[in-house]
Structure 1
C-alpha cells in the first residue's frame, strides 16, 4: 500500500468515526437548523434581531427525531404559557419589584402544572421578557412567532434529514462493556493459583465497582439508540430492537453486580489466607478454566444481542452455548474439589461456596434460554402497556436491581 493510499484510508477512517459520533452529528445539525431558523425569522418577524428562533432551534434539535418532537412541544408550550401570564399581569398590575416576584412565582408554579419538564424556567423567562417591554402584546406575539419558527424549522429539519439510528453505537458500547468485564474476570481468575496480597485483591474490587460507571455510560448510549428508533421512518420493528438491546444490557448489569460480589469474595479469601495460596493448585486450575470460559461468554453474549443478521446471531448463539457448556463442565469438577476443601477447612466453607454460587449466577444469567424468557416477558409487558387505557399513573419507586 502506498503512502497516499494509507493517508486516504486514515482520512476515511477518521471521517467514518466522526459521522458515528453523536456529539459531532448533534453539533453540525444544531448549527445548521439554528442558522436556517434565524433566516426564516428575519423574513416573518418584525423584530430586527429575532434571536428567539435560533435559540429555540438549538434547544429542540436533538440527536433523535423522537426527542426533537417532544422537546419542541414542551418548548412552545412553555413560551406560550409565559406569554399569557405576562399579558394577564401587564393588564392588571404592570411592572414593579413585587409584581416581578409574583410573576416569577406564578410562572414557575404554572410551568410545573403544565408539565413542560426541563423548560419550567423558560415559562418565567418568557413572562419577564414580555412584561419588561412597553408594547406588551406586540412583543409577546413576536416572541411566540419566533418560538414557533424555531420549533417548526427544527422539527422539519429532522423530518427532511432524518437523524442517524444510533443502534450500532449502542451495540459497540455494550460490546465494550462486555470486554471490560471479560478482562476483569480473567484478572480475578489469575489470582486463584497464587497468593495475592490483600491490596491487590482489593484493587480488583475497586475495578469492579467502577463497572457501575461503565454501565451508566452504556445506558445513556442505549437511551439515545432507543429514542432514535422511535418515530423513525427508516426503522422497522423498532420495538423489538429496543427490547433486545435493553434486556441484553440488563443481563450484563446483573452480571457486573455478581462480578463485584466475586471480587469481594476474593478479597475476603485473601484476608483469610494471610499470604498463603488462596486454593490448592488442582482446584485453582479448574476454577481458572471455568472463569476463562465464563469470561469468553460475556463477549459472545454481547455479540448475540447486538448483531442484526440472522446468520451472525446463530453463529454467536452457537459460540455462547459452547462456552457455557464448557464452563458448566469445569464448574462440576470445581464443585467436587471445593466440597472436599470445605470439608477439610469448615471455617471457610462460606467463601468456597460463595465462589461457586457467584459463577453459577453468571452462567444462569448468560444462558440463551434465560435470555429468551426475559425477552418474551418484556415483549408481553410492552404489549399490555400498549393495550392499557390511558389512566393517571401513580408514582412508585422502582425496585433496586440485584
Structure 2
C-alpha cells in the first residue's frame, strides 16, 4: 500500500509538471525529430537520413517566431552549402587546399545570404557533400532531408503549440525586484552605524554586480517576447510585451540609481571616517525610508507581472500607498538633513545627493509615470510597425484588427485613469 501511494504521488507530480514550458518544449522537439526521421526513411535515398531529425530538432525552437525564422535560414544555409560543394566538385575535386578554399567560400556565401547563426552550417553541408563520390546523389538527399526536417518542425507548431514564456519572464522580474529589496535593506541597516569605507565599497561592488541580473532578466524577457510573436494562442501580445519591457526598464533605472546611491554612501563613509554615516536620528529615518522603497520595488514588480489579471487593481493601490508613505518619510529625512547642514555644512553635497537619488527612485516607481511611459511606448511601437510593414497595416485595416487594437488602447487608458 505505501508503494502504491508513493507511485501515485510521483505520477501526480509528473502530471503537474507536464504543463511546464521546459517539459512541453522537450516533448515537441522529440516528436518533431521522430516524425521527420520516419518520413525521411520513405522519401530520402539515404539508408540513415539523420539530417532530417537533426534539422527538425534545430528548427523546433522555443517560440513559433524563432521556429519560422530558423527554419527558413537553416534551409537556405543547407542549399547554399550544397551549391558551393557542387561547384567545387566540378572544378577541383577534394584536396587539402580545395577543402580550405571550400570552407572560406562557404563561410563567405553564408554571410552574403544572411543566414545569421547558420553560417557554419553552409560550410558543414558543403564538406559533407564534397566528401563523397556521388555528389549529385548526396546533394539531392541532403536537400530533401533538410526540407523534410524544416517542414515537420514548423508543422509541429500547429499541432503542438509552443509554450508561452510570460510566467517565467514575470518570475524573473519579481526575483530581480526581491534582490533589489534585500540589497536596500542591507544598506538601510548600515546607515546608522559606523560603517568602514571598505564595507561601503563592498556594497558598491555588489550594486555593480546587479547588472548581471539585469542581463539575465533581459534574456528571459526576450524569450517571452518571441513566444508572443505570431502565436495564435496569445491575445493582446503587444500590450503584454510593452508592459513587461517598460517594467524591466524601470527596474534597470532603479538599479543604476541604487548603484549611484551606494557610491554616495561610500564617499560619505570615507569623509566621516570613524563617525557614523548619518546622525543617529537621520540614520534611523534612512533605514526606514530604504525599507519602504524596497517594499515599493517589489510591489511594482508584482503590478507589472499581474497587469492584466484581476489582482492588478489591488497591486496598484498597494504600490501607490507605499510610495505615498515613502514620500512622507523622505520629507522627514530632508528636514533632519537640512538641520544637520545648518549646524555643520561639511559634506552637504553628499547629503543632498542622497535625497536626489531617493527622489529619482520614487519618481520612477510612480504609477502616473508608468502609465505615461506605457502609452509612449505603445505609440512608438505602433508607429514603427506602420513604417516598417505598411502592407501589414493595410491588411490589418481590412480585417478590422487595427480597430481592435485601438479598442484595447482605449480600454487601457480608461483602466489607467
TM-score, normalising length from structure 2?
0.88
Query: Are 2:82 and 2:125, in contact at CA under 8 Å, matched by a contact in 1?
Result: yes
The question of 1:296 aligning with 2:300 is answered: no
Q: Aligned equivalents of 2:203 and 2:6: distance in 1? A: 40
Q: Aligned equivalents of 1:371 and 1:5: distance in 2? A: 50
Indicate the residue corresponding to 1:314 in structure 2.
Answer: 313
Indicate the residue corresponding to 1:394 in structure 2.
Answer: none
Q: Aligned equivalents of 2:205 and 2:30: distance in 1? A: 41
Give the superposition deviation at 1:388. 0.7
Task: List per-residue Cα deviations over 1:125-162 (Å, max 9, x = no partner).
Answer: 11111112111111101100001111111111122100
Map 1:2-401 → 2, pairs under 5 A: 12=12, 16=16, 19-20=19-20, 22=22, 24-389=23-388
Query: Are 2:85 and 2:127, in contact at CA under 8 Å, matched by a contact in 1?
Result: yes
Task: List per-residue Cα deviations over 1:335-357 (Å, max 9, x = no partner).
Answer: 12112222333331121011111
Segment of structure 1 superposing worse, 146-155 or 269-278: 269-278
Segment of structure 1 superposing worse, 235-244 or 12-21: 12-21
Segment of structure 1 superposing worse, 163-172 or 266-275: 266-275
Query: Are 2:258 and 2:357, in contact at CA under 8 Å, matched by a contact in 1?
Result: yes
Q: Aligned equivalents of 1:12 and 1:327: distance in 2? A: 45
Give the superposition deviation at 1:11. 6.8
Query: Are 2:246 and 2:374, in contact at CA under 8 Å, matched by a contact in 1?
Result: yes
Q: Aligned equivalents of 2:6 and 2:191: distance in 1? A: 45
Q: Aligned equivalents of 1:389 and 1:133: distance in 2? A: 45
Residues 120 and 15 of structure 1: CA distance in aligned 2, closer, same or farther (over 3 Å): same
Query: Are 2:21 and 2:163, in contact at CA under 8 Å, matched by a contact in 1?
Result: no
Q: Aligned equivalents of 1:4 and 1:262: distance in 2? A: 58
Give the superposition deviation at 1:227. 0.9
Query: Are 1:25 and 1:63, in contact at CA under 8 Å, matched by a contact in 2?
Result: no
Indicate the residue corresponding to 1:400 in structure 2.
Answer: none
Residues 16 and 274 of structure 1: CA distance in aligned 2, closer, same or farther (over 3 Å): farther
Query: Are 1:65 and 1:159, in contact at CA under 8 Å, matched by a contact in 2?
Result: no
Indicate the residue corresponding to 1:396 in structure 2.
Answer: none
Task: List per-residue Cα deviations over 1:306-339 (Å, max 9, x = no partner).
Answer: 1154531111111111111111111111112112
Q: Aligned equivalents of 1:383 and 1:372: distance in 2? A: 17
CA RMSD of aligned residues (A): 2.2
Query: Are 2:40 and 2:49, in contact at CA under 8 Å, matched by a contact in 1?
Result: yes
Query: Are 2:25 and 2:163, in contact at CA under 8 Å, matched by a contact in 1?
Result: no
Give the superposition deviation at 1:91. 2.2
Give the superposition deviation at 1:10. 8.1
Gaps of 5+ in 1: 392-402
Q: Aligned equivalents of 2:264 and 2:158: distance in 1? A: 53
Give the superposition deviation at 1:375. 1.0
Task: List per-residue Cα deviations over 1:83-122 (Å, max 9, x = no partner).
Answer: 1111222222322233222222111111101110000011
Q: Aligned equivalents of 1:172 and 1:319: distance in 2? A: 19
Segment of structure 1 superposing worse, 125-134 or 335-344: 335-344
Q: Aligned equivalents of 2:244 and 2:10: distance in 1? A: 31
Query: Are 2:64 and 2:230, in contact at CA under 8 Å, matched by a contact in 1?
Result: yes
Residues 210 and 15 of structure 1: CA distance in aligned 2, closer, same or farther (over 3 Å): farther
